[in-house]
A and B are shown apart, each in its own frame.
Chain A
Amino acid sequence: MIDRSRFESIYRETSSKVTRYVGSVIGWCSQVEDITQEAYLRLLTSAPDRLSDRQLKSYLFTTATNIVRDLWRHGAVTGDWMPLDRENTIHTVSMETVAEKIDVSKALESLSIMQRSLVWLAYAEGYSHREIAEITGIREKSAKVLLFRARQKFISRIQGDSALTERNS
């Protein structure tokens, strides 16, 4: 078990990130806090002491992802785990004009759970493809391709929302 001061420091640095990650993946509901706490509990009781802070942070995201997957398997989280669609088309719209108008969380909701997880880890947390593969339990090449598709869908949804907003205004 890692010592108290180290845990405090890791918790201070990561708690809002992990909470935000879980909230973005499953949607903001009462389970978010429970899952986050469970991830920290598992970190304390099961993570090896020798891990670096960076590795412990990855461990937290991995654990949170596993808990979400378990919940999804038991039907406690709704939505598709993997995407059902294969291709997405991007309509070119300037992102500078849409950035202030769109709701990112709505665009995330249009993705499958796995896609939300990939997009958040890559673009909000800045993890590499290799790290994302480790966290989500898939191969690096698969992570790259799945992330690419998820991103296309995410951007496509944002641009679609933006076009709709512009038409309505």
Chain B
Amino acid sequence: MKTMPCCREEEVVAAVIRGNLDGLLSGHVASCESCRTAADATSLLQRDRVGKEIDVRSSNMIWARATLLVRARRRRAQRLGLIVGIVSGALAGYLTSLLVLPSGTKVSLDRTAVLLSHSLVFLLPTVVILAAVALIVYSDSRTPAIRKY
């Protein structure tokens, strides 16, 4: 027998769960194949749940793990903020030096390599940026993450 989903299914399921499938709705269920199977499935699963208590662990461990995780994330965010600040400062200095040295000349990316080889002014920010990236990678590897399956 082929049937189609009925628009009153949710109403029927809710009534079965509440335990008051009666009157008009009961009449509808008797005449509607779809709602009858919905009512049957609901009563079977509701009945199956009764008397089957599940042992669950205390919530303390989950709470403790979550607290540690949130603290670690907060620390990581603070570290990242600091690193972003340092990198921004270094980049600002780097760009300023490009504009200023040698004075009066137009900024060109082609000249950057030449300037890098001649002056610590350019090397220093690069080292800072690389160190910051290394720090980010290091802190990332030490932050406890939610388990990846």
Contact = CB atoms under 8 A, between A and B. Distances in A.
Nearest to A71: B149
Interface in A67-86: 67, 70-71, 74, 76
A139 interface: no
Nearest to A15: B56
Most A CB atoms within 10 A — which of B17, B49, B52?
B49
A90 interface: yes
Given A90-B1, A92-B1, A155-B37, A104 B66 contact: no
Interface string B41-79: 111111111001110110101110110011001000000
Contact of A99 (B3, B44, B59, B65): B44
A80 to B, nearest CB: 19
Nearest to B46: A124
B14 interface: yes
A138 interface: no
Contact of B44 (A71, A152, A158): A158
Contacts of A89: 1-2
A44 interface: yes
Nearest to A39: B62
A105 B48 CA distance: 9
B59 A155 contact: no
A55 interface: no
Interface residues on A, range: 35 or more
B13 interface: yes
Dominant SS at the A interface?
A: helix
Contacts of A70: 149
Contacts of B34: 148
A103 B33 CA distance: 23
A20 B49 contact: yes
Interface string A127-139: 0110000000000
Given A4-B63, A99-B44, A124-B45, 11 more contacts: A8-B59, A37-B61, A40-B62, A89-B1, A105-B48, A122-B41, A124-B46, A124-B49, A144-B5, A148-B5, A151-B41
Interface of A: 1, 4, 7-8, 11-12, 15-16, 19-20, 23, 33-34, 36-38, 40-42, 44-45, 67, 70-71, 74, 76, 87, 89-90, 92, 95, 99, 102, 104-105, 119-120, 122-124, 126, 128-129, 144-145, 147-148, 151-152, 154-155, 158
Interface of B: 1-5, 10, 13-14, 17, 33-34, 37-38, 40-49, 52-54, 56-57, 59, 61-63, 65-66, 69-70, 73, 146-147, 149
21 contacts: A8-B59, A15-B59, A16-B53, A19-B54, A19-B56, A20-B54, A36-B56, A42-B146, A76-B149, A90-B1, A90-B37, A99-B43, A104-B44, A104-B48, A122-B42, A123-B41, A123-B42, A123-B46, A148-B4, A148-B34, A155-B41
